[in-house]
Structures are given as C-alpha cells and as structure tokens.
A and B are shown apart, each in its own frame.
Chain A
C-alpha cells in the first residue's frame, strides 16, 4: 500500500522533472541546431527548427577560424590559478570571519558586504590604471592575482556554510590543544569539501566565461581566451551564428563533464551533524 503510493508520487515527480528538463534543454537544442545550419538557413524567417541538412563540418570549420586550441590552453591556465587562489583564500578568510572572534570583526565583515555592493563600473577604470602602472596589463596577472585575495561573494557564501557547523566542534578541538590552522585544515576543510568544490566550480565558471576582464587586460592575440576568441564570429551588422554557436557549445562541454562527474561532490551531505553525534 505504502509502496504503491510512493511509486505514484515518484511517477508524477518524474514527469514534472522531465517536462522541466525538456524546457531547459530546448535552448541548448536550438544552439546545436543553429550550429549545424548554413548561413542562409540561420537567417531564414520564419526560422527552421532542425537544419535541412546538418553541416557537422561547421564544428571543425569554426575551430579553424581562430587558434582555439591555443585559446583553450590560455583559458585553462587562468582557470587553474583562479581555482587554486579562490579555494585557498576564500576558505581561509571565511573561516576567520565565521569562527574566530577578533577585534574589529563585525566592522570588517560589514566592509566585506559593502565591497559586494559597489557597482563594478566604479572600480573598473581606476583598477585598470593601477594594474597599468605596475605593468600588469597584457599579462594574466590582473585576472589571477585578485583571485588569491578572496572574493567578497565567496567569503560570504562560505561563511554561511561555516556557520552551520556547530561551535562545540571547534571548542572541543581547542580544549585538546589544537590551533586555528589545525582546526581549519584538518577539521573544517574536510567537512566543507562540497562547498569548497562549489567555490571551485563557481571560480571555474567565472574564469572560463569571463569576457570583460580578458578584454580589458589582454591585447596580445596569442594570450587571448576562449571568450575573446568567440568574438571572431561577431561582425558588425552580421554575425556568423552557426560558428558562434558551435564554439559556444564546445566551450560548455568541459564544465558539463566536470559537473556530471563530480556532482556528488558538490552536493553531497556535509555531514556536519553526523560529526557531532
């Protein structure tokens, strides 16, 4: 009796989720469909749902239009350092704000929150001037170094997670003579691995998809990133949508695979309550 009820509920749930999934997938389907069309067919009005004849070679042609292999490597370099810097610095700073009681903490955390609220345009030009004066323009440093200085949004997010970890855990460790670095590294970090993974993922996404930063700071074509490379398809008054969509789709795949494989890591239980018991 009970089992049957569960099954029925699950079927309904399954149908709802499937419908939702179809809606979500449609734009991506359109993306691929556009990628496979010829230029005149893309412009056709009303648009066609499926390409008359799928041009699979579009993917290869698009990849040849710019040194995309080089751009991918460049992007990966930036992504790599951004993730290392982001995970390390944010978890450290967030621990400080969540679990250490120090003078001026409240005020400084308000500053953290305040820096999140600063409209980006305010700092855009002055920051550029600073990086320019220290000779970092046209290097990856302006894109990487700030990641090592933590990010207000991520500090805030990680702190929210840290705060759900009972203080007793830390107090008990302190009684045992552990210092903060030990508690942070050995006790807390393992507990918040999923959050660390999430921060890593967000950093990956951010660095992978960043357009404004590389655009502003990189000039040498050999240093371009994928997102900058995509601009090769965007002309004035005319865009090569099929190629743009082809590369956009390809550039999504790494994050997709990453997420699919490690999703348990991102969302697995933090087991904080388990640790208490």
Chain B
C-alpha cells in the first residue's frame, strides 16, 4: 500500500512538472506583454499586443477581426490579437490583471466612465501619443468625455450611439399615422392611441409604452430636461423631485396605467429574457432603442419594414434630446507598450477604419470629418439616426457624486412600477440623493 501511494505521488509530481513545463514554453510564445516572436528571422522585433473587447457576435466580430488583420498587414512592427470576453466578466478579468501588473494592451470600455477610471488610476494617460491634431478630428463633446479631471486624455472615442424611436411601417400605414407628424410627446400619445388594438380585455397591439426596449426613465427625463435631469451640473445639488421630473414620471406611469400593469409586466419580461422581441414580432408598434438595434433586427426580423424617428419634444420647441453614450479604446494601467498600443488605437479610430466599421457594423463614429459620400450614410435609416445623434446628450457623472444612481434608481423604479405614488417616489429619491451627497 505504502508503495502504491508513493508511486501515485510520484506520478502526480511528474504530471505536474510536465504541465508546468509545457505551459512555460507556451506562455513565452503567446505572452501578452509581447516578448517578441520566437523566430529570429525578422530583423526588428515584433511587438505583440492584446486587444480586448466584448464584441463576439457574427454581426461584429468578423469585421473587428478583419480590421485587426488589416492593421497587422499594414506594418510589421506590431501584431495585435483580438480577444473577446463577455461584458461584465471583462471588468473582473481586467482588474485582476491590473492588480497583477500585467494587463492587456488595448481595451474597449464605456465612454461615460473614462473620467472615473482615470481618477481611480486604472488607465494610462495617452496625451504623449494622441496629439492635438488627432484630437481635432473628433467632436469636442466626445474628446471631453475622454479627458480626465486633470485635463489629460485617457481614451480615444471608438464608436458612439444615440436613442431613437423605431416604428413598424406596416402598422403606421394601416393606422394611417404619418411618422413626420410625431413631434411632441402629445403627438406620440395621439399616434399610439391610433395604433392600439384591443380584443376584449387583451391588447393585441401596443402602440407605445415608454420604458421598454432600451429606453428607461432616464431617456425621458433627459429629453424633457434637455440634458442632465437628476442634479444641477454647476452645483451638483440633487434636483430629482423637480416639477418637470414629477410631470415626466407621472406621464410614464399614466402611460403604463393606460395599458395596465399586467401588460407592462408581460412585455417587460419578454424583453428582459433576451430571447423574444415583441417589436420584431409586431406586437408593439413603437419602441425606444439605441442606434445599435438595427444589427439585432437584421438577425431576428430580417423581413421587418421599420423606420426611425427622433425622440419627440417634451413641449414644442424643447428639442429632441436623446441620451446616448459610446465606447472608447484605452490602455489599462500598467500595460507594457503604451506607445505601440496607441499606434493601434490611432489606426482603429482613423477615418478609413471608422468608415469601414460603420459600413460593416453600423456603429456611428465620433469623428467629425465624415461626409455623405460614405456608403454607410446612403442607408435612409442611418441618415435618420445620424440626425438623432446631433441632438444627443452624453451624461458624464462627475466623480464627486459617482454612484448616486445605484441609490436613487430603485426608489424611482418603485414609482414607475406603481408601488409608490410617482411624486412620493421622486421625493424619496431626492432625500436619498441628499443623504448620499452628505455621506460622501
């Protein structure tokens, strides 16, 4: 018996050494830090770079891969590998790697929080490599979003999005609704009423429900306030329970009541399961969604005839403000080759590459040097979305009050769901926000 155990131990030890042996040789050849390729034939050492994003679908990944391949072929100094990691998990892995001092070289991330990550020392400064002339090719608001409190650039805009109302063309024709007639919230409701269809007690067609799809309470608040709704941008004082906000939340709740809580529950559950899509199936006529929705509709409803209109005005003359955001490319703190990474970032955000990505994937660019000659802009849906983009507000939460949304959102949602009266819900949220500021 004793003999057998020692044999077992020995075997285990051998296996382990074998494993670590082959692993160490592996890690040499595929190290993310780019220790150089093993073949010494090339005179200059190729720098290997890892580029992380979460884009893994057929609609995007092949084109990102193509873009990366093009970059690799365009020069022989750098070799980029695209790695897709699921959204959410990508942050866990990134933080672990930053802590270990060996992060990836280039990472996609959300534009809204660049400033926060800069403040927390999670990203490298890029000023040295991304010069002012490069910056000048992007719209100011997006460069601003990529700039830290210290005035240093920490990321480069990669793609931007906006929100619009998608409508079902067949429904509109049948109900005789002209999309151009929807200019204000009142017009929207009037159109929705025409589109509604009911069979006894059950809705067979829902004209419009405000907080479904990718539109939330935020969308309407920002639309009504022409931008930031929850706090004063100068003083950072909470303005959650302002008169406008109370009016907006009541409007949302009234709209849900119009269809009934049960109908809202049904549709909301259908969207959140991620599988079914009531807009794609023609159950609802209008839906707020981001500009990226077109690529998912291409998969789930290739035959659907739909159009796009801007979010209507809260009151005539108030403007069609939509909330939007975007994604950036940045270099995680501690990455070994910031200069090389920036070469790739410059390539990925260059006019030609952005045009390629926009045409293939359908994402909008943050660059200001596009003209209508691009193939991308020939698509009528794209043209309409581009108009929405012009009235898009990207809310960057100041670092001083970062995290307040976690505190107020559940309370506001109680109002949306009809658990508390809408005015009370906003009053509660206001109080919570004030307490939050006080505790900071």
Contact = CB atoms under 8 A, between A and B. Distances in A.
A and B touch in the complex (CB under 8 A): yes
Interface of A: 34, 39-40, 42-47, 81, 84-85, 88, 124-126, 128-129, 132-133, 135-141, 144-145, 148, 181-182, 185-186, 212, 215-216, 219-221, 223, 231-232, 234-241
Contacts of B20: 136, 139, 141
A160 B32 CA distance: 45
Interface string B231-268: 00000000000000000000000000000000000000
B296 A138 contact: no
A42 B85 CA distance: 24
Interface residues of B, number: 58
Given A43-B281, A240-B58, 7 more contacts: A44-B281, A45-B270, A126-B99, A132-B101, A135-B23, A219-B50, A236-B54
B275 A34 contact: yes
27 contacts: A39-B300, A40-B302, A42-B276, A43-B281, A84-B12, A128-B100, A129-B100, A135-B24, A137-B27, A138-B27, A138-B30, A139-B24, A139-B26, A140-B19, A141-B19, A144-B19, A148-B12, A185-B4, A215-B85, A215-B86, A216-B92, A232-B56, A234-B57, A234-B86, A235-B59, A235-B60, A241-B274
A234 B56 contact: yes
A139 B20 CA distance: 8
A219 B32 contact: yes
A40 B275 contact: no
A145 B32 contact: no
A128 B103 CA distance: 12
Nearest to B96: A128
Interface string B286-308: 00001011011001111100000
B439 to A, nearest CB: 23
B71 interface: no
Contact of A220 (B26, B276, B278): B26
B299 A138 contact: no
A56 B213 CA distance: 31
Contacts of A45: 270, 276-278, 280-281, 283
A259 B270 CA distance: 35
Nearest to A77: B19
Contacts of B60: 235-236
Interface in B131-179: none
A236 to B, nearest CB: 6
Contacts of B303: 40
A182 B87 CA distance: 51
Contacts of A212: 89, 92
Contacts of B281: 43-46
A181 B280 contact: no
From DSSP, what is the main secondary structure of chain A's interface residues?
helix
B1 A186 contact: yes
A234 B56 CA distance: 7
Given A132-B102, A139-B23, A241-B275, A125 B95 contact: yes
Contacts of B26: 138-139, 220, 223
A235 B30 contact: no
3 closest A-B pairs (Cβ-Cβ)?
A235-B57, A139-B23, A43-B300
A234 B61 CA distance: 11
Nearest to B30: A220
Given A135-B24, A141-B20, A220-B30, A238 B300 contact: yes
B83 interface: yes
Interface in B56-74: 56-60
Contacts of A47: 275-276
Contacts of B180: none
Interface of B: 1-2, 4-5, 8, 12, 15-16, 19-20, 23-24, 26-27, 30, 32, 50, 54-60, 83-87, 89, 92-93, 95-97, 99-102, 270, 274-278, 280-281, 283, 290, 292-293, 295-296, 299-303
B100 A238 contact: no
A84 B59 CA distance: 42
A181 B59 contact: no
A220 B89 CA distance: 16
A125 to B, nearest CB: 5
Nearest to B273: A47
Nearest to A182: B1
A134 to B, nearest CB: 9
A139 B280 CA distance: 43
A221 B100 CA distance: 21
A44 B299 contact: no
Nearest to B270: A45
Contacts of A238: 57, 59, 295-296, 299-300
Nearest to A243: B58
Contact of B301 (A40, A124, A182, A235): A40
A141 B99 contact: no
Contacts of B276: 42-47
Contacts of B97: 128, 132
Nearest to A85: B12
Contacts of A215: 85-86, 89, 93
Nearest to A128: B96
Contacts of B101: 132
Contact of A125 (B19, B57, B96): B96
B86 A81 contact: no
A237 B292 contact: yes
A20 B124 CA distance: 56
A186 B4 CA distance: 12
A43 B299 CA distance: 9
Contacts of B27: 135, 137-139
Nearest to B104: A219
A237 B27 CA distance: 34
B133 to A, nearest CB: 32
